[in-house]
Amino acid sequence: MAVLSYLEAIRETLRQEMRRDPRIIIYGEDVGVRGGVFRVTEGLQKEFGEERVIDSPLAEAAIVGTAIGAAINGLRPIPEIQFADFIFPAMNQIIQEAARIRYRSNGAFHVPLVIRAPFGGGVHGALYHSQSVEAFFAHVPGLKVVIPSTPYDAKGLLAAAIEDEDPVLYFEHKAAYRSVKGEVPEERYLIPIGKADVKKPGRDVSIITYGLMVNYSLRAAEELEKEGISCEVLDLRSMRPLDVEAILETAKKTGKVLIVHEDNLTGGIGGEVSALIAEHALFYLDAPIVRLAGPDVPAMPYSPPLEHAFMISPEKIRDKARELAQF
């Protein structure tokens, strides 16, 4: 099996899907000639032509809004938002339109649409090239939100998102693009949206997380293993719908839950996960439910000491998990 980077897995999946389904079009800022600012779409315009890989005007509401129209009229658009930070001008189209069209039309219309956007920090991107925005969308019924942590998942989740008949936000961690590598089968496969994945089984503490933090949590778990602490790492994969069953199962199994995300603590996905456990598995708990998340400051600063202070690291996860194990 080929070993691909996270970025390559996404690119090759886009290519495979576009070969499979002529209705798929890609567009966004710089996705064509330039192949995207991260080069995720590199080579695709060459293969599929200017009509299927479109350099659009610099206008996110138009990018998403026209994709909605195009989806309704028979295409399968995969618009790219250049950085997740720039998705806000399209908020109105995503939340008020894409998410509500099926419901408001009583099922007469629907919007098969995959919005791709790189997110996350740790790459000197500063306030406006480091944001985690998944919580805004995970709050919205009608949307699905997925975040892969590995090249394998990147492929399977992207194919599933494209297959889905509803709008899916697909966030790619930019720090994972080149640093995370793994085996990826050549043939097409789908990873069901809404299913979490136990990336490492364990007994003492459950680490529930997603995205790049899965990789960091695995590193932390590995270190703790040497200390005799056994962590289970649950990769949520999908922020909406959440896999409630898997969340409760791991909570019940270990009785100690650490939730990790890079997004700001307050109002992040972690609160929802914690609340689900506190409502449905409370009496299995042996310790408080702990969240380790981005600090409640507006966004990630640029200067290395500040960026470092903001970012969640394997060490921070390890320390919190150890503390919890020893509770």
Partner 1 sequence: MADNGLTPELMLDMYYHMALSRAMDDRMWILNRQGRAPVVYTSNGHEAAQVGSAFALNRGEDWICPYYRDLALVLAYGMTPREVMLHVLGRADDPNSGGRQMPAHWGHAKLHILTGGSVVATQDVHATGLALASKILKDGRVAVAYFGEGSTSQGEFHEALNFAAVHKLPVIFFNENNGYAISVPSRKQMAVQDVAARAQGYGMPGVIVDGNDPVKVYEVVKEAADRARRGDGPTLIEAKTYRFVPHSSDDDDRAYRTREEVQEAKKRDPLILFEARLKEAGILTDEKLKEMQQQIKDVVNDATDYAEKAPLPDPATLWDHVYGSL
Ligand X SMILES: Cc1ncc(C[n+]2csc(CCOP(=O)(O)OP(=O)(O)O)c2C)c(N)n1
Tell me the catalytic residues.
Answer: 129
Is 114 strand, coil or helix?
Answer: strand
Binding segment toward a second copy, per CB under 8 A, in 7-15, 44-52, 115-123, 287-295: 287-295
Q: Which residues within the stretch 181-210 sit at the binding site for a second copy (CB under 8 A)?
A: none
CA dist 311 and 298 (Å) reads 13
Q: Applying CB under 8 A, which of residues 79, 120, 142, 211 lies at the interface with a second copy?
A: 142
Q: Applying CB under 8 A, which of residues 72, 244, 278, 287 lies at the interface with partner 1?
A: 72
CA dist 218 and 146 (Å) reads 19
Count of beta carbons in the 10 Å neighbourhood of residue 61: 15
Q: Applying CB under 6 A, which of residues 8, 17, 29, 243 lies at the interface with ligand X?
A: 29
Output the smallest distance, CB 1 to partner 1, in A: 30
Binding segment toward a second copy, per CB under 8 A, in 36-44, 193-201, 217-225, 288-296: 288-296
Residue nearest to ligand X (CB): 86
DSSP helix, strand, coil percent of the chain (3-state; round to 5): 40, 20, 40
126 binding partner 1? (CB under 8 A): yes
Cβ(267)–Cβ(135) below 8 Å: yes
Question: 1: burial class by Cβ within 10 Å (0-12, 13-18, 19+)?
Answer: exposed
Output the smallest distance, CB 35 to partner 1, in A: 7
Q: Which residues within the stretch 99-138 sit at the binding site for ligand X (CB under 6 A)?
A: none
Output the smallest distance, CB 89 to a second copy, in A: 5
Q: Which residues within the stretch 295-314 sit at the binding site for partner 1 (CB under 8 A)?
A: 295-298, 301-306, 308-310
Count of beta carbons in the 10 Å neighbourhood of residue 176: 25
The strand ranges marked E within 162-256 are 168-173, 181-184, 197-200, 205-209, 231-235, 238-240
Q: Report the candidate in 166, 190, 13 with the shortest Cα–Cα distance to residue 76.
A: 166
Output the smallest distance, CB 34 to partner 1, in A: 4
271 binding ligand X? (CB under 6 A): no
CA dist 199 and 233 (Å) reads 5
Number of residues that bind a second copy (CB under 8 A): 49
82 binding ligand X? (CB under 6 A): yes
Output the smallest distance, CB 251 to a second copy, in A: 11
Element housing 134 (H / E) = helix 134-138
DSSP 297: S
Alpha-carbon separation of residue 128 from 96, 214, 216, 290 (angstroms): 24, 23, 23, 28
Q: Applying CB under 8 A, which of residues 19, 20, 46, 124 lies at the interface with partner 1?
A: 124
Q: Applying CB under 8 A, which of residues 3, 58, 275, 282 lies at the interface with partner 1?
A: 58
Number of residues that bind ligand X (CB under 6 A): 6
266 binding partner 1? (CB under 8 A): no
Cβ(169)–Cβ(115) below 8 Å: yes
Nearer to a second copy, 48 or 137 (CB): 137
Single-letter residue type at 37: V
Output the smallest distance, CB 88 to ligand X, in A: 8
Strands 53-55 and 24-28: parallel
Residue ranges binding ligand X (CB under 6 A) = 29, 58, 60, 82, 86, 89
Residue ranges binding a second copy (CB under 8 A) = 85, 88-89, 91-92, 95-96, 99-100, 102-104, 127-128, 135-136, 138-142, 240, 242, 264, 266-272, 274-275, 277-280, 282-283, 285, 287-291, 296-299
